[in-house]
């Protein structure tokens, strides 16, 4: 998992059926000082995050552990909205 800032979203009309209904956000990984760190990625939004918010991003098969997501072609997801980073 990593901290990221939501910086935008992608629109894709033609896509894998299992992605229908998923909002696809562009996330910029950041460090604990909220400075950019590494390349942007695209994550499905599980928690209703908005542009500009800092979020927790999870990856791999962990984002498909819930029964309703077993058959989703998703390898990256916003799994939390970060209220505070304590360092």
Instruction: Please give the backbone phi and psi of residue 77, each rounded to the nearest 5 degrees, phi first.
Output: -150, 150
Q: Residue 21 Cβ, how far from a second copy at the closest point, in Å?
A: 13
CA distance 27 to 79: 12
CA distance 78 to 63: 9
Is 11 an interacting residue with respect to a second copy (CB under 8 A)? yes
Applying CB under 8 A, which of residues 15, 23, 34, 50 lies at the interface with a second copy? 15
Which of the residues 18 through 57 are near a second copy (CB under 8 A)?
18-19, 24, 26, 29, 31-32, 37-44, 46-48, 56
């Amino acid at each position: 998992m990593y901290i990221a800032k939501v910086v935008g979203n992608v629109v894709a009309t033609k896509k894998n059926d299992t992605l229908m209904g998923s909002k696809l956000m562009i996330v910029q990984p950041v460090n604990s000082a909220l400075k950019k760190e590494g390349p942007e990625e695209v994550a499905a939004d599980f928690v209703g995050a908005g542009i500009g918010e800092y979020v927790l991003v999870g990856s791999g098969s962990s984002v498909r552990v819930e029964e309703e997501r077993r058959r989703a072609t998703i390898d990256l997801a916003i799994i939390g909205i970060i209220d505070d980073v304590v360092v």
